[in-house]
Structure 1
Amino acid sequence: MDMSVSGQQATRLPDFIIGGAPKCGTTSLHFILGQNPEIGLPDEEIHYFDADDPITHPDFLFAGQQGLSWFDARPAHADNYAWYASRFAPFQSVRRIGEDSTTYLFSEVAPARIKSLLPDVKLVFMLRDPVKRAYSQYWHLIRSARTSATFEQAIIDHASILKGSTFAPHLRTYLKTFDPAQVRVVLFEDFLADQQDTIDSLTDFIDAPRMSLETAKTWFNRTLYPSRPGLQRLQNRVGKHIVARRYRTHMGEGSGQISPFWHKMHYRWFAYVAPLLLTREKAPPMAEATRAYLAQHLSARNAGLSDLLDRDLSQVWKGFEGRG
């Protein structure tokens, strides 16, 4: 997709976007598609179109003596647009270019911004049992030292946990903003059941050559959980002050300052301290009272999702009620 802004030289920008949701298998999808020689995907998630959202990206905003510093994601901001375009510079000769930013699905601002810059882009969203997705995100926050709370307290403290499992209203926005033919929704459960069929349908959707998974690597990484959750939460009381600075330069060196001292702290924490308790292969079971609350609340947040996807999701997600 050739685009230019304010007279800048035309640059190929994404033909497709994997827009979410987080903890729904998008990393595995990215990993597989990235092995297709005719598909170009930057290694990192980009987060250009929602970089100014303090709920999903608090590390991209900085409160200082001169006020709030933030990354301006509007294409008219030439320097930031150039940063975005530069992410795709290595892939100008491949058939299809994509990006993976899993918070776009539940962003309030991303749909209109994407439409403005990439009106013909294809959008891929992966959904998962919303209760399991929320629990998975919590353990991601624990593993990355971003919370020291119990799951129940994290539901209260971290708005992104429930927001990330709220699919229906955000999908409706995308389907209204774009031609529905540009939007493809995949269920994580279907992906697990038949990866080849899922990949075939998606490569067809983005008009890229099909790829055989017999020769591709389909296993990305193994997720480990703390052997002693209480001790892990205590450890995270220290760790969260270190990781708070981890992504300060994600949007380029000018987006935030971080000292060599904190670079060393990050490395040592994630290389030596963080893995100490991460030895368990399965997450501890969720409290049944918490599961019951989430099942009814996330069903209400996703009212009408079965109708939207023309599929009875109660047959896929235990306890889900998505009609009406």
Structure 2
Amino acid sequence: MEFRNREGNEAYAFSLPRRNRAPGTSAFVRAKDEASKIEYCLRSILPAFDEIHVIDNGSRDDTGEIVRRLRKSAADGSRIRLHSYPFRVARFGPEHDETPADSLHSLVYFTNWALSRCTRRYACKWDADMVLAGEQQAAFARLIDGLDRGWPAAWSLAGQTVYRTPDGSFLSPRGEVNREVRIAPCGYAARFHKREHWEQLIRPRWLRTRHFAPVCFRELKFLDEEEFDHWSTTEFPSPRKRREWASFQRLRGGGADDADMGAARRLPATFLHDQVASAGRSESSAVWPGRSPRVLPRWLPRFLGIGATRAGTSWVAAQLSDHPQIRMGRKEIHFFDRKLGAPAPSGSARDRVDRLRYLARFVRARGGGRQGAGGRGRIRGEITPAYAILEPAVIRRVAEWMPDARLIFMMRDPVERAWSQARNGFPGWRGKPLESVSRDELISFFDSDPVRRRSDYAICLRAWFEHFPREHFFFGFLDEIRERPEDLMRDLLGFLEAEVVVADAESLRKPVNAAAPVPMPDWVRDHLEREYAFDADEVSELIGRQVPWSR
């Protein structure tokens, strides 16, 4: 379903699909000037959700910078996506009531635009001042993990207001608990509508609403900040908001005692840090497990091509499979992303069986040369570009099995890569000519998590750098295949410690698995350049050489 704004700004038109195909749960977090809270908020929920979309609504403080830093440094930081919504949004109350629902300045339009960023089957509206309660994180994770099973349902969550005083202590007043429907199937059927004073999630009648019983989050209010600036009135319509306003004013004025606050419970000064620490995820420490000087077992691959999709990996595979010293199976065996499943405990019986299943693919693999060269290739390897976006636990398992493996990572302009994947994917995988694909289908394709993540090279590489040192990586570009393929192959074979045997110039310049040459429409380029605005300088810094695109 297409949503357009009355201002005619096509860049911020959006669609809500009837259903999202990827399993899992997305969270979206609307944030404006939340620098004091956003890190606690995101760290508390990172382990729970499959992706988290932070929508920065023109923050004047360091909110955006903190989110970008977390993406790079936090465990599971690759799950965070940062978006910009630069328009002034009407505040709750009379301003909201006077603003048309289809305006860029409407809270309803803003919230549905934020919802449209989500790509999983379920979406959760999580506010930037909310922190997942440490004692409920395991139960909440079980709730999220079980959403894909059984009949669809919406879920309400309960939260407790917590006030931080200027001296750094925290107060949790009894009775200030609010409950709101925050989780629902992601799509057009469950979306936000305009109601008096605020927006409200409206669900279809057939969708059952269930309730997660325990108080599972803390809603933070800092007395040294203007916590009610997002309201355009102090004549609040709901008893809960009036109670919060009264508590806030009494505490800020220093005149509240336990009787005023309903026997408020005083929390330790380390309260916020304790909530985040109990998330159960420690920062990774660039230690590569299992690394030792020992020689790899005889049949294990010595190199992996891990990406990126539509960046020249088929050409690389064709050249390497013809080398007399290299033994490869077919390209893209998809063992770690499709066949392995959830990694078994390291060293367990199932882990040993999984390793044998993987090894079997290389026992059968053919040797180099077009006729197999008698199967004498001594350097075994495989190329599956989907490995670029493996989950951290699976990358860890790769490192445990093959700690000394060499890794090949090919790249191209992220926008061109996504368009090439569409040109190749719709006719090849979906049996649908690209010309017949609707605009909504293309936008949904480009905004889907697997497609987007394949173009975010920095996030992909940081996940792998947690388990392999940079000297184990070979970085190449599609531009080099087109402009100087001989030099690229010489460098790659030297990296793999193989004899430098390069094919003739005509063979090297022959395209392999090229997508149909369909020009990129201007609106597609505009959409991708806006949504795929990844930092080229960041990639250059990570790989130690300049990338051939800039954006």
Task: Tell me: CA distance 1:197–1:152, structure 2 relative to 1, closer, same or farther (3 Å).
Answer: farther
Q: Which runs of 5+ in 1 are unaligned?
A: 1-9, 53-69, 226-281
Counterpart for residue 62 of structure 1: none
SS of equivalent to 2:524: helix
Counterpart for residue 86 of structure 1: 360
Mapped partners of 2:331, 2:503: distance in 1: 22
Is 1:13 the counterpart of 2:300 in the alignment? yes
Contact 1:48-1:73 within 8 A present in 2 as well: no
Where do 1:117-156 residues align within 5 Å?
117-146=401-430, 149-150=437-438, 153-156=441-444
State the Cα deviation string for residues 153-176 of structure 1 (Å, max 9, x = none).
234244322121111111122223
Counterpart for residue 296 of structure 1: 530
Paired letter, 1:156: S
Paired letter, 2:485: Q
Contact 2:337-2:387 within 8 A present in 1 as well: yes
Mapped partners of 1:81, 1:151: distance in 2: 43
Mapped partners of 2:423, 2:399: distance in 1: 33
State the Cα deviation string for residues 269-301 of structure 1 (Å, max 9, x = none).
xxxxxxxxxxxxx21x22223212312332236
1:38 to 312, 317, 325: 325
Is 1:189 the counterpart of 2:463 in the alignment? no
Q: Which has the higher contact order (CA 8 A, sep 6+)?
A: 1
Aligned-pair distance for 1:206?
1.0
RMSD: 2.7
State the Cα deviation string for residues 188-232 of structure 1 (Å, max 9, x = none).
11121111111111111111111122188433546464xxxxxxx
Counterpart for residue 104 of structure 1: 387
Is 1:114 the counterpart of 2:398 in the alignment? yes
Contact 1:72-1:80 within 8 A present in 2 as well: no
State the Cα deviation string for residues 72-101 of structure 1 (Å, max 9, x = none).
554742443322111111458523111111
Task: Tell me: CA distance 1:196–1:152, structure 2 relative to 1, closer, same or farther (3 Å).
Answer: farther
Counterpart for residue 309 of structure 1: 543
Is 1:173 the counterpart of 2:463 in the alignment? yes
Mapped partners of 1:145, 1:93: distance in 2: 35
| Structure with the higher fraction of residues in helix conformation | 1
Is 1:201 the counterpart of 2:510 in the alignment? no
Q: Which runs of 5+ in 2 are unaligned?
A: 1-296, 368-374
Paired letter, 1:39: I
Task: Tell me: CA distance 1:81–1:312, structure 2 relative to 1, closer, same or farther (3 Å).
Answer: closer
Mapped partners of 1:165, 1:128: distance in 2: 9
SS of equivalent to 2:390: coil
SS of equivalent to 2:417: helix
Counterpart for residue 26 of structure 1: 313
Mapped partners of 1:310, 1:79: distance in 2: 38
Mapped partners of 2:318, 2:380: distance in 1: 14
Task: Tell me: CA distance 1:89–1:216, structure 2 relative to 1, closer, same or farther (3 Å).
Answer: farther
Paired letter, 2:525: R
Paired letter, 2:389: F
Counterpart for residue 98 of structure 2: none
Mapped partners of 1:202, 1:173: distance in 2: 23
Mapped partners of 1:152, 1:25: distance in 2: 28
Aligned-pair distance for 1:115?
0.6
Paired letter, 2:405: V
Q: TM-score, normalised by structure 1?
A: 0.65
Contact 2:423-2:515 within 8 A present in 1 as well: no
Contact 1:131-1:165 within 8 A present in 2 as well: yes
| Structure with the higher fraction of residues in strand conformation | 2
Contact 2:317-2:331 within 8 A present in 1 as well: no
Contact 1:152-1:290 within 8 A present in 2 as well: no
Larger CA deviation: 152-161 vs 198-207: 152-161
Counterpart for residue 190 of structure 2: none
Q: Higher Cα Rg: structure 1 or 2?
A: 2
Task: Tell me: CA distance 1:73–1:196, structure 2 relative to 1, closer, same or farther (3 Å).
Answer: farther
Counterpart for residue 211 of structure 1: 501
Q: TM-score, normalised by structure 2?
A: 0.39
When the two structures are aligned, how many residues end up with a matched partner? Answer: 235
Mapped partners of 1:72, 1:211: distance in 2: 39
